[in-house]
Structure 1
Amino acid sequence: MKVKVLNLDGSAGKGDIELSDDVFGLEPRADILHRVVTWQLENRRGIARATRERSDVARTGKKWGRQKGGGTARHGDRAAPVFIGGGKAHGARRREFNISLNKKIRALGLKMALSSKAQNGLVIVDTLDGEAKTKALAGQLAKAGFGKKVLVIDGEAVNDNFARAARNIVGVNVLPAVGANVYDILKHDTLVLTRAAVEKLEARFNG
């Protein structure tokens, strides 16, 4: 698949780039993308903390009153839920959300996310070199008309000047190639890749 290289302002750049059909030319499947996004979001969740029940609270287990003749209910110990400081009755249990997903499915999901953007919403730029000026970068992106949400992926590491200029622009997020993931790619209107990012992503699957 051959794609034209653009500049950040949307103008024509230097030449074309050949994208691998094995990475950018697949037919996206909603079921695969749904499984990978669900896996990713579930693993972001923290562990749900359990409440302390009757056996967990630090109170005496001694029976504190007579079984009969006291004129009160027949309690066994102070950890009973009816007492202040007692255990929680039917409390929340500890829950973990780290579900597993086959590596091949995760890799296929990323390929399909990239392929879906290649069909509509993929921009390839030569480099991210430029001055570290937020105003100048915002003007370039507005001129290009990439949309409200733009994800920019660079190669080994994100260009420092670009990262500094983009960090105060609402809707623009920047990642190195190693951080590319299905959820972030799909939730942005436009995916901007540098030549270095394309090389890294294709090497990631071919290696």
Structure 2
Amino acid sequence: MKVKLINLDGSAAKGDIELSDAVFGVEPRADILHRVVTWQLENRRGIARKARERSDVARTGKKFGRQKGGGTARHGDRKAPIFIGGGKAHGPRVREFNISLNKKVRALGLKMALSSKAQSGLFVVDSLDLDGKTKTLAAQLAKSGFGKKVLVIDGEGVNDNFAKAARNLVGINVLPAVGANVYDILKHDTLVLTRAAVEKLEARFNG
């Protein structure tokens, strides 16, 4: 499919670009996208540090004190949570969230995410050349009509001046092509790709 190139302010630029149907023309499926997003978010979760419970602490299990007549509560051993050095009651335990997902499914999910944006919400710019001023970028984006949440993906690395200008703008996120992922693409209203990003993404699947 052919897409017209635009400038950052939304105005038409010279020329157009051919997008591969194998990457940007796949019919999206909600079940595949759901599986990939779930896999991403699960792998993002941090695990708790384990606390030692009664069975984990090294203290004597010998009964101390008399069962009756001591004037104190009845205790079986020193591992009880109420004692200093005793085990934690209902402490945090290590849980693993590293679910697995086939590489083919992950690749298909990314193609579907890109394709869903290609249907509505995808723009391609020639480059991200800018003077590095946040004010300049904000003025251009105000004219563009991209929406409140915009994801900009560049090629091998993000243009330094553009990254500096965009980091103080709310709702504008920037990634290199290697960092393109399903969750971030779907989370934003608009996806803006550079010509270099398109080449990188297509090479990623064709290679």
TM-score, structure 2 normalization = 0.93
Matches within 5 A, 1:142-153: 142-153=142-153
Match of 1:149, as an amino acid?
K
* Number of the residue aligned with 1:173: 173
CA shift digits 1:136-170 (9 cap, x unpaired): 01000110010001100000001111111111111
Which residue in 2 is equivalent to 1:192? 192
After TM superposition, the structure 1 = structure 2 runs for residues 53-202 of structure 1, keeping only pairs within 5 Å, are 53-66=53-66, 70=70, 72-202=72-202
Q: Does 1:30 align with 2:20?
A: no
2-structure distance, mates of 1:91, 1:130: 53
Instruction: Provide the C-alpha distance between the structure 2 equivalents of 1:90 and 1:190, rounded to a whole number of angstroms.
Output: 45
Q: 2:25 and 2:160 mapped to 1: Cα distance? A: 31
Matched residues in 1 for 2:190 and 2:112: separation? 15
Structure 2 letter corresponding to 1:123? F
Q: Tell me which amino acid in the other structure corresponds to 1:130.
A: L
Percent of matched pairs sharing the same residue:
87
After superposition, the C-alpha distances for 1:5-57 in whole angstroms (9 at most, x for unaligned) are 00000011121100000000011111111110110011111112333210223
Query: For this pair of structures, how many residues does the alignment match?
Result: 207
Q: Take 1:76 and 1:193, find their aligned partners in 2: how far apart are those partners?
A: 67
Aligned to 1:91, the other structure's residue is in SS state: coil
1:39 match: secondary structure: helix
Q: Is the 8 A contact 1:63 1:76 kept in 2?
A: yes
TM-score by length of 1: 0.93
5+ unaligned residues in a row in structure 1: which ranges?
Answer: none
Q: Secondary structure at the match of 1:165?
A: helix
SS of residue matched to 1:205:
helix
Using the TM superposition, name which of 45-54 and 136-145 deviates more: 45-54
TM-superposition CA deviations, 1:103-125 (whole Å, max 9, x none):
11100000000000000000000
Shift of 1:72: 4.6
DSSP 3-state at the match of 1:14? strand
| 1:206 shift after superposition | 0.5
* d(CA) in 1 for partners of 2:190, 2:149: 7
CA distance in 1, matches of 2:58, 2:191: 55
How many Å apart are 1:96 and its aligned residue? Answer: 1.4
Secondary structure of the structure 2 residue equivalent to 1:191: strand
